[in-house]
Amino acid sequence: MAKKSMVARDVKRARTAARYAAKRTALKAQIADRTLEPEALDEALLQLQKLPRDASPTRQQRRCRVSGRPHSVYRKFGLGRNKLREAVMRGDVPGVVKASW
């Protein structure tokens, strides 16, 4: 089980990223616009840098829904490898069987 503080930190990062998403996309569009004057471009870059670090969605960590484990999480199932194996063995995941050769 992951530390509750780390899971809570990721939840907080997700909320912060959602709060600033519109502002970030608008600033990024201004920066990508090459017809913009250099002064306006610098101002847009400065405003983007002044946003909180956690406003960036890349700072979020994909975690297991059950245990909160941050590594080896399968996107398709949203579970870590340990919990996915347990779910497959119980038969909770349809269409997935243990490999044997």
Share of the chain above pLDDT 90, in %: 81
| Dihedral, 63, 69, 71, 74 alpha carbons, nearest 10 | -60
Question: How does pLDDT run across 53-88, given as a tens digit for each residue?
Answer: 999 999 999 999 999 999 999 999 999 999 999 999
In which element (H, E) is residue 8 found?
A: helix 4-19
- Asked whether residue 1 carries a pLDDT value surpassing 90, the answer given is no
- Asked whether residue 31 carries a pLDDT value surpassing 90, the answer given is yes
pLDDT at residue number 101: 83
pLDDT at residue number 29: 95
pLDDT at residue number 40: 92
In the chain the domains, ranked by start, together with CATH numbers, are 1-60 (no CATH), 62-96 (4.10.830.10)
